Amino acid sequence: MLCIRTGMSALATAAVALAVCGAPAARAQQLKGAGATFPAPIYQKWFFEYNKTHRNVSFDYQPVGSGGGVAQYKAGTVDFGATDAPLSDAERASIPWPTLHIPTVVGAEVLAYNLPGIANGLKLSGDVIADIYLGKIQRWNDRRIAAQNPGVRLPALPITVVHRSDGSGTTYIFTNYLSSVSREWATRVGTGKSVNWPLGLGGNGNSGVAGLVRHSPGAIGYVELAYAITTRLTYGPVRNRAGRYVDATIASTTEAANSALSRMAKDVRVSIVDGPGANAYPIAGFTYLLVSRTPRDTAKARALIEFLRWAMGPGQKMAAGLLYAPLPPSVVKLNERAMSTIRL
């Protein structure tokens, strides 16, 4: 309804405005967040769509990587953090306030490659991927890659390994996967948001890795599925624990997530890499928002909770369009239960 005020006293004007227009609009809130690049496309979509119907709530989200997001959340400079790597018990204990992990969507990472003349579909197994990143496989026509791709004319190009240069949940998921399929990787390098890479070029964010791969013939790098598709990179299926070469799809990512549902009832901080499902994609993970259970600004906290409830409902329907798997209903219920514990 349009409110039209005529020349009258300020008091009378306010009274008429209240009577005609209803209660005053809620105070505008800008919610600040920082962290993971992995879910940035869906988060930006959610923020835009939510603001259409909630004009008093806006968002300032900085995709600086999971490590940066955790650091800013811990410092209290943002209202929420975002990470693909759940906090360890020690990390969570170091946060000055009790913190909730709110899973938002499930995503997949692909091994994008730049091989002139070779399109999507190059098959890779976990042991081969690990040995590429360890520097033990150095050319694309290596017999172990060729054995998995009969009939494909692989070039003798040297392999250029690309990885993240920033502290990253995408790196956490990828190195967690490599640790699960390669004992040598687990002992020499290990799992983390940042690791001591044996070799390779570093790119900042998923977009940085995608850019390096796209412009470097012979390159290979791990990126979130949406980044590979939007930048038109080529990638292929990865062999899972069941021995099947599986493409990264909504269905295969969902199957990976479903394997963890019984564990999530106890703790939502789960790993779903190299899961047991016959058609589960092996390089996948939940991504999380970090939210305080004892917020200092209750008005902002209420606005954030209302947004999260929307994200758990209508927002989930937008996930598949951006190549994320929506949360299983049981995980949505866990989130609702967790949010009910926030003290306002």
Residues 232 and 244 in one domain: yes
- The confidence score (pLDDT) of residue 8 equals 36
Give the whole-angstrom CA distance, residue 231 versus residue 320: 18
Q: What percent of the chain has pLDDT over 70?
A: 92
136, 58: one domain: no
pLDDT in tens, 245-273: 999 999 999 999 999 999 999 999 999 99
Quickly state the pLDDT bin for 226 (edges 50, 70, 90). confident
d(CA 17, CA 173): 54
Asked whether residue 55 falls in the same domain as residue 70, the answer is yes
Is 274 part of a structural domain of the chain?
Answer: no
3 assigned to some structural domain: no
Q: Tokens for 108?
A: 């997949």
Largest CA distance in the chain: 87
- 112 and 101 inside one domain: no
**198 and 259 part of one domain:** yes
pLDDT, tens digit (0-9, with 9 covering 90-100), for 140-186:
999 999 999 999 999 999 999 999 999 899 999 999 999 999 999 99
Report how far residue 48's alpha carbon sits from residue 257's, in angstroms, rounded to the nearest whole number. Answer: 27
Domain count, the chain: 2
Angle subtended at Cα 213 by Cα 212 and Cα 216, rounded to the nearest 5 degrees? 80
Lowest mean pLDDT among 120-124, 175-179, 229-233: 229-233
Is position 1 within any domain? no
Q: 257: domain range?
A: 108-264
Helix (H) or strand (E) holding 285: strand 284-292
Check whether residue 134 and residue 194 sit in a common domain.
yes
Residue 11 lies in a domain: no
Q: What angle do CA 38, 238, 192 make, to 5 degrees?
A: 45
For residue 223, is it within any domain?
yes
In a domain, 134, yes or no: yes
Higher pLDDT, 17 or 122: 122
Shared-domain flag, residues 90 and 49: yes
Same domain, 116 and 253: yes
Please check whether residue 276 is in contact with residue 256, taking contact to mean a CB–CB distance below 8 angstroms. no
Same domain, 136 and 33: no
Whether residue 158 is found in the same domain as residue 228? yes
Does 184 reside within a domain?
yes
pTM: 0.88
* Whether residues 314 and 200 fall in one domain: no
Considering the domain architecture, whether residues 154 and 298 belong to the same structural domain is answered as no
Domain of 152, CATH number, reads: 3.40.190.10
Query: Residue 159's pLDDT is what?
Result: 98
100 inside domain: yes
